[in-house]
Amino acid sequence: MTEALTPAELAEQIAAARDRLLAFAAACADEQWHAEPLAARGDPRAVGVIVDHVADAYDYMMGWLREVVAGKNPHVDPAMVDRLNAAHAAGAVHLTQAGAMEHLTRSGDELVAFVGRLSAPDLDIADGRVRRLAEICVRHADAHRGDLVLALGASAG
């Protein structure tokens, strides 16, 4: 991100990216929803599991945001994120399309409301860690959606 966004702008961007992923998910046929289009790239998760992964990530990212705003310093590293993602993937294989979309809507709404209630100084807590986490939330849904659209082809979204 090149310019410093306000909490309200970050919240709007998170909501917009989430809504684009929801629209993609709603357009997926059952065959696409269960496909594993990224398996050749090392990601064996089905489309539905990836969509719900974004919802799950919103949940844990919001937890970290809350901790940082409260003055805590949650330990977050790539290995931890990999473990969270693997645990989610193992438990999400039987998710329905409606269930994943409901989870994405609910967790996205909660995250958007939380970020939108932050103050501008809150974004600078812990040397800007709050801002960086919120910016990751903005990019996350679009990154996965873009990968899926490319892998599935234009017919999926």
Q: Is residue 28 within 8 Å of 156, Cβ to Cβ? A: yes
Residues 76, 25: Cα–Cα separation, whole Å: 29
Confidence of residue 157 (pLDDT cuts 50, 70, 90): very low
Q: Classify residue 123: in a domain, yes or no.
A: yes
Q: Classify residue 86: in a domain, yes or no.
A: yes
DSSP 119: -
The two structure tokens encoding residue 8: 């309200």
Q: Is 144 a residue whose pLDDT tops 70?
A: yes
pLDDT, residue 136, reads: 95
105 is in which domain, residue-wise?
7-156
pLDDT, residue 47, reads: 96
Q: Classify residue 2: in a domain, yes or no.
A: no
Q: What domain count does the chain have?
A: 1
Mean of all residue pLDDT scores within the chain: 92
Q: Classify residue 46: in a domain, yes or no.
A: yes
Residues 132, 135: Cα–Cα separation, whole Å: 5
- CATH number reported for the structural domain that contains residue 40 in this entry: 1.20.120.450
Q: Classify residue 52: in a domain, yes or no.
A: yes
- Tens digit of pLDDT for each residue in 123-135? 999 999 999 999 9
Q: Classify residue 106: in a domain, yes or no.
A: yes
Q: Classify residue 1: in a domain, yes or no.
A: no
pLDDT, residue 91, reads: 86
- Tens digit of pLDDT for each residue in 67-126? 999 999 999 999 999 999 889 988 887 889 999 999 999 999 999 999 999 999 999 999
Residues 157, 153: Cα–Cα separation, whole Å: 8
Which pTM does this prediction carry?
A: 0.91
Angle value at C-alpha 67, between 7 and 89, nearest 5 degrees: 95
- Tens digit of pLDDT for each residue in 10-69? 999 999 999 999 999 999 999 999 999 999 899 999 999 999 999 999 999 999 999 999
pLDDT, residue 92, reads: 86
Q: Is 1 a residue whose pLDDT tops 80?
A: no
